[in-house]
Structure 1
């Protein structure tokens, strides 16, 4: 087991956003994190990567809590945020070198992986470019390269398809599948439910900071008594319940 979240309660202000969330993401598994805007997906991710501290409960990656070993915990995570975060004064090449240094990676082997990814995402001739020269989609590709050139235990991908062209979406999903086959765990938050249904092994449906339901598609269909439903159908049913219940 890679990621284990137990009874997580937390958030930003005086009132908790997350309430007793419990779920896991196993090795060789892609899990889709699904919910409405404001349901708590991004807050959940921020707790996992250590930007927010739990008020109650705990989070472990490969059995390690952040509080026990900050450096070791963070090395286990590769993160692709919804909004790319790049340093305006650094070139693409320097972003890669910074990532290698920050995670104490082997320079030669990591650059070998990075060069393959740069070519895949058509960035190999832009190593001296600064972020101001990149489109939104290109910035997202830089984040993907910096994450996937690592051999992390857990890959967290937050709304990764925003701004990506169809070829880049295909290339990213190919990378996700490769990491899964090689033993990593992937937690992917996305609103593109057809893609989530095609690639994810299980789903976590979040509403109002709580895990409303989790399981594979068959298990979700049984829970909603919709034997032939797609993930989109189930998502819409959950949405209607949220609206009807105020």
Structure 2
């Protein structure tokens, strides 16, 4: 199996319950993959497993040929993540969150400042750099989290419900950025319940049903979900 992200025969068991079973797929460079499925299908568990926060009992995951188990630190620097709910630190300002990502991903200072200026202008956050998360609305916190994940130039971007909490203007700007990242060669895996967005953004899809891949293919083959996990 080839690809920028490769997931092979992954199994995840939690308290003797099998959550994922024999999950295999890949995302090529410059490709957006929509991970779809009903609630409880295993999408969040799969994302946590790719992130490394959920241990797999079987299988292999690699990004850019870096094995998750054998080269964990280098593997982690190949990806960034936008969760559905912002995960911000109450003691850090907005700008300090950006600096934390700069240090973690070793982003050169000039490139860092250019990106902060562009993204905070695009997301209308340029006047919030010295604010703390508690003083921000949920939508603003989501914008901060989104900018954090966009600062590093990674091989893989993981996004859980990318447009949750974003207003229409911010959503359109974010969609433009995602397409730019794809065109630059970044692989993007996103989950969303906004199925109209699947066709607008994604190139390919993988559908999970009861922890297994029930179908996958080009996004133009995908229409909607039925309860059996097959695209109608």
Q: TM-score w.r.t. structure 2 length?
A: 0.95
Secondary structure of the residue that 1:188 maps to in structure 2?
A: strand
The aligned residue for residue 185 of structure 2 is 183
Aligned mate of 1:57, from 56, 59, 77: 59
The aligned residue for residue 136 of structure 1 is 138
| Contact residue 60 and residue 68 of structure 2 kept, 8 A | no
Aligned mate of 2:155, from 148, 153, 156: 153
Separation (CA, whole Å) in 2 of partners of 1:176 and 1:109 = 18
The aligned residue for residue 76 of structure 1 is 78
| Contact residue 86 and residue 142 of structure 2 kept, 8 A | yes
2:117 equivalent to 1:115: yes
Task: Report the CA distance between 1:218 and its aligned residue.
Answer: 4.3
| Contact residue 11 and residue 43 of structure 1 kept, 8 A | no
The structure 1 segments of at least 4 consecutive aligned residues displaced by more than 4 Å after TM superposition are none
Secondary structure of the residue that 2:139 maps to in structure 1?
A: helix
The aligned residue for residue 94 of structure 2 is 92
Q: Report the RMSD for the aligned CA atoms in angstroms.
A: 1.2
| Contact residue 7 and residue 19 of structure 1 kept, 8 A | yes
Separation (CA, whole Å) in 1 of partners of 2:153 and 2:13 = 30
Task: Report the CA distance between 1:52 and its aligned residue.
Answer: 1.1
Q: How many residues align?
A: 227
Deviations 1:197-221 (A, max 9, x none): 111001111111111000013444x
Residues 1:218 and 1:145: Cα distance change in structure 2 (over 3 Å): closer
Task: Report the CA distance between 1:169 and its aligned residue.
Answer: 0.9
| Contact residue 102 and residue 151 of structure 2 kept, 8 A | no
| Contact residue 89 and residue 130 of structure 1 kept, 8 A | yes
| Contact residue 80 and residue 157 of structure 1 kept, 8 A | yes
Larger radius of gyration: 1
Q: Which has the higher helix share?
A: 1
Secondary structure of the residue that 1:129 maps to in structure 2?
A: coil
Task: Report the CA distance between 1:41 and its aligned residue.
Answer: 0.3
The aligned residue for residue 227 of structure 1 is none
Q: TM-score w.r.t. structure 1 length?
A: 0.89
| Contact residue 114 and residue 146 of structure 1 kept, 8 A | no
Task: Report the CA distance between 1:11 and its aligned residue.
Answer: 3.9
Long gaps (5+) in structure 2? none
Long gaps (5+) in structure 1? 221-230
Secondary structure of the residue that 2:119 maps to in structure 1?
A: helix
Deviations 1:162-209 (A, max 9, x none): 111111111111111000000010001000010111110011111111
| Contact residue 199 and residue 220 of structure 2 kept, 8 A | no
